Amino acid sequence: MTGHDENLDLDVVVVGAGFSGLYMLHRLRGLGLRTRVIERAPSVGGTWYWNRYPGARCDIESIDYQYSFSEELLREWRWSERYAAQPEILAYLEHVADRFDLRRDITFSTSVTSAVYDEAAACWMVTTDAGEVLSARWCVMATGNLSVVQPPRIPGLDSFRGRWLHTGEWPTEPVDLAGKRVAVVGTGSSGIQAVPVIARTAAMVHVLQRTPNYSMPAHNRPLASEEIEEAVRTFAERRRICEWSDAGTPLAPPTTRAVDATPEERRARYEEGWKRGGISSLSFAFTDMFTDEVANGYAQDFAREQIRSIVHDPRTAELLSPTHHIGTKRTCTDTGYFETYNRDNVELVDVRTDPIVEITPDGIRTRDRQIDVDVIVFAIGFDAITGALAEIDLRGRDGVRLRDAWAEGPQTYLGLQTAGFPNLFLITGPGSPSVLSNMVVSIEQHVDWVADCIDRLRADGLDTIEPTLEAQQAWMRHVDELAQPTLYPRATSWYLGTNIPGKPRVFNVYVAGCGPYRQECDDVVAAGYRGFVRG
Ligand code: FAD
Ligand code: N01
């Protein structure tokens, strides 16, 4: 099949209009494919549409957290800060949508509820909550890894007389927290970004912490125009380094082990990183950070020492000091988070020793006390990685449901496709570097791979592609073998799904890095799509 199949409504349906879906649409259009994007939100942006909470910003430098596919786009957009805030990233994605005239092929305020593979016609039947049914040869899930919020499951929420908000579904109209008594539940990246900003104007902020987290100083600052000029001038080379790096960032990787260094050498490296700031402040100091408990422990000691030096009250500092291995829960970056606990209007509540019992009309009741508040901010995270896929009734060959096929955890080949679901593509799916990388770099790689794959199918006069079960099983073993020697599988975190009741505990992010992964994907293509069946 080289032209369009006129029996089908479309060539491709793409679900989601964040960084992934927008670029996917642009690429597919370039191939002359009839494409429609379905997006739940009323506009583009994905993560950056939904997460409008105070303090939301990226933790990968803005220069690297942008598309690379268009030289003109790169030249005309000017990032104002080292780490752009949510409104600026959203404005960037809106600009992309307008500049490439993408909106006319996006159906907004509409959710895909089911996608069923019709084997006889070799197409996907995609149904939306507006009752529309679309047939398309290919279906791309650009639904995001962090796009389905974990709802608060605390009894009594309905009785609360104040207002409650979730950071991941923050309202579009301004929320005025000035002079209010606010409780923030959760101290992951969202809570850690939000607390310092809320504390500036709120009357009182109670931070309800279950697990303390490591947070590195962002050292955010405005970008000087010469700096931007230089970044644009050197962007192509910088991006190439990102693409072949481990984390999708341009930082030179470490070359020595912490366990071989003297205490003085270690301290010097950690201090250097802390001064540089950002998510990799400590993780780029030594090679053994994520594989050796002792090495990780040195960095932990340094991080805890920083907390003690910032936070005046020793008991609060102690409660804020994490004990898990750095990086096994996503490391946070902040602007003045620990300093905020020196304010008179901020209180840390340890809900590990004094757990939340219920929400009452006036606030939150823990086992030992009542905390009266006007607003509760839930910064309690997401049903990550598989949440958005699980919400859709996805059925492949023989009516098999993805939910059932993945009951013990997700199964993919390269994180791009799953056996039994022909022509269904996942952008940054499980089994790829995804959430352990600069996601824009990973997204562009996946989108390009998928677009090239479809283009090649058409050129070869073929209709379908899907992985063999053997290739998929071997890939998942490979992903697991890479992960097992590291510290990642040992934590409790959304990486493993342990934050969601009933979710299987599995770690299936490809940990060997963006560069090695890219090479594996390229090799598969060079070997004639090894491990896939094309038909
Ligand atoms: P998303 O942006 O999540 O977009 C998916 C879209 O699909 C959403 O708009 C959603 O509404 C839509 N959708 C889902 N299901 C359906 C359905 N059934 N029907 C219709 N539409 C649907 N990553 C980094 O690399 N660096 C960072 O600094 C960084 N900061 C982050 C900050 C926050 C607050 C969060 C939550 C995440 C952050 N991430 C970061 C991860 C971020 O999610 C990715 O970088 C990136 O934005 C993902 O883009 P995406 O298009 O793949 O997914
Ligand atoms: O969510 P999280 P997030 N009672 O799951 C606590 C990206 N992101 O939205 O650890 C009390 O990390 C929970 O406690 P515990 C980034 O990838 C990036 O903050 O389960 N507490 C934890 O403290 C990030 O990792 C940025 O014990 C409860 C917190 O809520 C991912 O998105 C900014 C609770 C949830 O932390 C998710 O971050 C924001 C309960 N019932 C997000 N339930 C950047 O900086 C949960 N918790 C770029």
Task: Name the residue of 154, 499, 503 whose CB sits within 8 Å of the most ligand 2 atoms, as the mutation to test its pocket.
Answer: 499
Q: Among 21-30, 396-405, 486-495, whose mean pLDDT is lowest?
A: 486-495
286: pLDDT strictly greater than 80:
yes
Q: Is the CB of 146 under 6 A from ligand 1?
A: yes
Q: Average pLDDT, whole number, for the chain? A: 97
> Which residue's alpha carbon is at the smallest distance from atom 34 of ligand 1?
51
pLDDT, position 119 = 97
User: Ligand 2, residues 380, 438, 495: which to mutate, most atoms within 8 A of Cβ?
Assistant: 380
Residue 177 has pLDDT above 80, yes or no: yes
Ligand nearest to the CA of 328: 2
Taking CB atoms and a 6 Å cutoff, what residues make up the pocket around ligand 2?
Answer: 58-59, 146, 167, 185-191, 193, 208, 210-211, 330, 333, 351, 356, 379-382, 494, 499
Q: Minimum-distance ligand to the CA of 146?
A: 1
Mean of the pLDDT values across residues 465-470?
98
Name which of 314, 52, 359, 51 is nearest 208 in CA terms: 359
Ligand 1 geometric centre to CA of 357 (Å)? 32
Residue 170 is which amino acid?
W
Residue 462, SS3 per DSSP: coil
Cα of 526 from ligand 2 centre, angstroms: 40
This complex has an ipTM of 0.99
What is the mean pLDDT of the segment spanning 51-74? Answer: 98
Give the pLDDT score at 491: 86
Mean pLDDT of 512-522: 98
Q: What pLDDT sits at residue 192?
A: 98
User: Residue 234's pLDDT is what?
Assistant: 97
Mutate to test the pocket of ligand 2, among 153, 167, 187, 189 (most ligand atoms within 8 A of CB): 189
169 C-alpha to ligand 2 centroid (Å) = 14
Ligand 1 atom showing the smallest separation from residue 382 Cα: 36
Q: Is the predicted pLDDT of residue 279 greater than 70, yes or no? A: yes
Name the pLDDT band for 148 (thresholds 50, 70, 90).
very high
Query: Per-residue pLDDT for 217 more than 50?
Result: yes
Closest CA to 202 of 158, 163, 153, 161: 163
How far does residue 15's CA lie from ligand 2's centre (Å)?
Answer: 25
**Stretch 299-321: mean pLDDT, rounded?**
98
Distance from the Cα of residue 465 to its chain's centroid: 27
Ligand 2 pocket test target in 59, 190, 211, 377 with most atoms within 8 Å of CB: 190
pLDDT at 346 over 80: yes
Percent of the chain with pLDDT over 70: 99
From the centroid of its chain, how far is CA 150? 14
Closest protein CA for atom 25 of ligand 2: 330
Query: What does the pLDDT average to over 93-114?
Result: 98
Distance CA 213, CA 187 (A): 7
**Stretch 426-436: mean pLDDT:** 98
**pLDDT in the model for residue 1:** 47
Report yes or no: 206 and 371 within 8 Å, Cβ to Cβ. Answer: yes
Res. 347 pLDDT band, cuts 50 70 90: very high
Q: How confident is the model at residue 235 (pLDDT cuts 50, 70, 90)?
A: very high
Kindly tell me the sign of the dihedral angle through the C-alpha atoms of 359, 363, 366, 367: negative
Closest-approaching ligand to the CA atom of 52: 1
Ligand 2 atom nearest residue 435's Cα: 17
Residue 99 has pLDDT above 50, yes or no: yes
> Across residues 184-213, what is the average pLDDT?
98
Report residue 196's pLDDT band, with 50, 70 and 90 as the boundaries.
Answer: very high
- 411 within ligand 1 shell (Cβ under 6 A): no
Instruction: Give the DSSP per-residue string, 60-102.
Output: S-TTTSS--S-HHHHHH----BSS-BHHHHHHHHHHHHHHTT-
Output the CA 533–ligand 1 centroid distance in Å: 30
The arithmetic mean of pLDDT across residues 31-44, rounded, is 98
Q: Estimate to the nearest angstrom the gap between the alpha carbon of 108 and the chain centroid.
A: 22
> What average pLDDT does the segment 332-343 reach?
98
pLDDT for 377-397, tens place per residue? 999 999 999 999 999 999 999
pLDDT band at 4 (very low <50, low <70, confident <90, very high): confident
